[in-house]
Amino acid sequence: MKKEIITLAASALIGGITAYAVTTSVAPKDTFQTVVSGNDGATYRTVNLNLSDYPDFTYAAESAVDAVVYVKVAVPVQQMQMPSSIFDFFFGMPGQGYGDGRGQGTPREQYGSGSGVIIRQDGYIVTNNHVVGDASRIEVTLNNNQTYEASLVGTDPATDVALIKIEAEGLPVIPFADSDKLRLGEWVLAIGSPYDLRSTITAGIVSAKGRSMPNYGKDLKIESFIQTDAAVNPGNSGGALVNKEGLLVGVNTAIISQTGSYAGYSFAIPSNIVRKIADDLMTFGSVKRVMLGVSVMEIDAKKAQELKLSSPMGVYIGEVSKGSAGDKAGLKEGDVLVGLDSTKINSFAALQEALSQFRPGDKATVRIIRDGKELSVPVTFQDQVAQNGQKLANGIAFYGATLAKASKETLEKLGLKNGVEIVSVGPGKIQEAGAREGFVITYVNDVPVEKPQDILNIVKKSKRAVYIEGVDANGRASYFGFGL
C-alpha cells in the first residue's frame, strides 16, 4: 500500500513538472494571467503581456513617414475694394469691380495646405484634387525640410485624386499595397500634416470598406472609401494610409463631422484606385475609364425574396444600354450581377471601384445570376464616353452627354415649341462647356432642332466649332459652344 502511494505521488510530481514545462515553452516569456476573486464573489482577470506581444507600429511609421510630404498651395481670389467716392461707385475704377461686370477686382491669393505621398523616386506625388486642383502655385516640403516648387501633372475630380511632380531624384517612396486584401479590424496608420503639424502619425483600424457619401451635385463621383477610426483633421487630406508593413493602402481624403474637426470617422481612397489614376495621368495625361453600360440598383431582403435569392447579394440590372459593353456581352434586364473577375459585388460602390481599375479594351468576366443559375459572361470594356450617335437606354450619346427629344410637358413648362433635352451629362465637351441636365437645345449653329438626329447631322457638317442655343431648366435663355 505504501509503495502504491509513493508511486502515485511520483506520477503526480512528474505530470506536474511536464505540464509546467509545456506551459512555459508555449506561453510567451513574462506573460501570465492573474485571477482575483472579489468580495462580491465575482472573478476578475488581468493579463500581462511581453512587449513583443503588443501592436508595434514603429517599423511602419519610420519606413513611411519620410515619403509623406507637406503641400502648400496658393489659390487666386478676387477681392473687391470699396469705392473711394460716389463717382467711383457709379462709373467704376480701372481694375476694380463691384459686381456690375465693369471691373475684375484686385487679384489676391489665399493659402491652403494638405499632404501628399511620394510614389516614385523621380518626384511623382499623389494628393487630393481638392488640395491642388485650383492652385496657381504648389510648394512641397519633404520631411527633411527641403522645399520644392511642384507642377500639376493632372487631376481627377471624380475620385478626388491629383498627381503633382517635383524635380528631384532618389526620393523615399511608399510602395502600393493591394487594398482589396484589407480586412475589417486591420490596423492602419494615417500620416499627414493636420493643422500644419508636420509628419503627424495616428493609428486606427479599418472600420468598414466600400463606403460612399451623398453626392449633392450632378458631377460624376466614384467613391468606395476605406473607413477608419485613425484621427484625421484638416491638413491630412492627400496623406498616406498605411498598413503595419508600411505599404500604402489608401490616400486620406475626408471626414464626417459636425464641427469640421475629427469626430471618429475618416475616409481614404483605396490604393488600387489611386494607383490606376496615377498611372493613367502619367501615361496618357488623362484618366481612361470604362463603361459597362448598365443601370443597377442595390438588393435588400425584400428584393432578394422577390428574386428568389438565398440572401441579399449582388446588384440588380435594371437597364442595359444598347450597343454598350454589357449589351454586347449579353447582359439583360433582370440579371443580378454578383461578381467581376474575382471581386464580389454587393453594392453600387463596389461595382464602381471594380470598374475603375480597368481601361478601354480590357477583358473581364462578369458573374451573374439569371433564372436562379449562376453564369460567367466574358466582357470587353468600352470607353466611358459613348460614341456620338450611340443609342443609350434613355437617349442618344453626344460628346459625353445624353440627348433626347424634349417631352411635351417640358416644352409647355418652358414655353417652347420644339427642342432637344440634355438628359444627363458625363465627362466630355458638353460638360466642359458648362451645360447641365435639363437644358433644352433649340438651335445649333443657328439651325432649329427638334430631335437628337438633327443635332448630329448639323455637327457632321461643322468644320471648326459648335454653337448651341437654348433654355436651361429654370427657363433662362442661354448658350454655349465648343471646338471640334
User: 3-state SS of the chain?
Assistant: CHHHHHHHHHHHHHHHHHHHHHHHHHCCCCCEEEEEECCCCCEEEEEECCHHHCCCCHHHHHHHHHHEEEEEEEEEEEECCCCCCHHHHHHCCCCCCCCCCCCCCEEEEEEEEEEEEECCCCCEEEEEHHHHCCCCEEEEECCCCCEEEEEEEEEECCCCEEEEEECCCCCCCCCECCHHHCCCCCEEEEEECHHHCCCEEEEEEEEEEEECCCCCCCCCCCCCEEEECCCCCCCCCCCEEECCCCCEEEEEEEECCCCCCCCCCEEEEEHHHHHHHHHHHHHCCCCCCEECCEEEEECCHHHHHHCCCCCCCCEEEEEECCCCHHHHHCCCCCCEEEEECCEECCCHHHHHHHHCCCCCCCEEEEEEEECCEEEEEEEECEECCCCCCCEECCEEEECCEEEEECCHHHHHHHCCCCCEEEEEECCCHHHHCCCCCCCEEEEECCEECCCHHHHHHHHHHCCCEEEEEEECCCCCEEEEEEEC
- Here the cell at position 401 is 452627354
Rounded distance, CA 19 to CA 205, Å?
A: 37
204-207, long-range: CB < 8 A, 24+ apart: 204/228, 204/229, 204/230, 204/231, 204/266, 205/229, 205/230, 206/182, 207/265
Rounded distance, CA 129 to CA 159, Å?
A: 8
Place of cell 463691384: 98
Cite the active site residues.
130, 160, 237
CB of 318 within 8 A of CB of 413? no
Which residues have a Cβ under 8 Å from the Cβ of 81 and sit 6 or more positions away? 96, 105, 106
